[in-house]
Amino acid sequence: MSDLKRAQAREQAYERGLYPRPLNEGRSRNMQANRRTNTKPEVALRSALHRLGYRYRKDLRLDLNGVKVRPDIVFTARKIAIFVDGCFWHVCPQHGRQPTTNEWYWSPKLQRNMDRDQRVNAVLSEAGWQVVRLWEHEPLASAVETVVAVLNRGSEHVSDVI
């Protein structure tokens, strides 16, 4: 999509009240820079797992019972799906916070994200997949330990494995 078309679509969305206008250009650039894949915590975890000799698929789309799922890291043969969730986007109980600006937009959006996470967990579990959700703030060593434990079928991290 060209920059002009993107700008026109964004303007139409603002006019229809679908999205709030950014407070300033800096905030707009900041939000546009957020990535869906290849976040720093995700890349660090993948690199550490690769160094340990584990091979996986990244951002692999799974179509399960009509639901499209894209785990960050996928061990297809073992049917293990790993998600590295951002504290803001997935409402981390430790670091997540309620937005104070444009709350009318952000609160429902964040709730939809949490609902989608639960739906994805359920669909994957019903299809025989093991789901591991890690928070972006979790130390790399701890995240690697959790994933390796699940891969070795000896996970003691009940709260991390769904």
Q: What would the pLDDT profile of 136-160 be if each residue is shown by its tens digit?
A: 999 999 999 999 999 997 444 444 4
DSSP-derived 3-state class of residue 128: coil
pTM listed for this prediction: 0.79
Dihedral through CA 113, CA 117, CA 119, CA 124, nearest 10?
Answer: 150
Separation in Å, CA 92 to CA 9, 12, 98: 31, 32, 11
The DSSP symbol for 20 reads P
Residues 31-62: pLDDT tens digits? 666 777 889 999 999 999 999 999 999 999 99
